[in-house]
Amino acid sequence: MEFAQQFVRDGIYLMPDGTQVRARLYNLECLHMEWVFEDLDGVRQLGVLPDGRVQEYVMQGRDFLGPVYDLRLSDLTIEDLSAA
């Protein structure tokens, strides 16, 4: 399955803990593609990379551009996200 069609853009999904997240596809001129899952307040929670790795976004604070995140590899898998 093509990576860009793996999830529904702006679709609502559930994380294993029941948190609702919205799927956003980020495509930086085809140099970096990532599905980013934000909670309903717009705070990033997870990212899914084309190779299937899942990374967690950990908010570290804010600067003049907005939230600052630390990225950490997660033990979650794509299958852990379910459509709401």
Report pLDDT digits (tens) over 30-76.
678 999 999 999 999 999 999 999 999 999 999 999 999 999 999 99
Q: How many domains does the chain have?
A: 1
Query: Which domain does 19 fall in, by range?
Result: 3-36+46-83
Predicted local confidence at residue 55, as pLDDT: 97
Whether residue 10 lies inside any domain: the answer is yes
Give this prediction's pTM: 0.89
Whether residue 62 lies inside any domain: the answer is yes
Whether residue 66 lies inside any domain: the answer is yes
Predicted local confidence at residue 32, as pLDDT: 84
Whether residue 41 lies inside any domain: the answer is no
User: Residue 10 and residue 6: Cα distance in Å, rounded?
Assistant: 12
Whether residue 12 lies inside any domain: the answer is yes
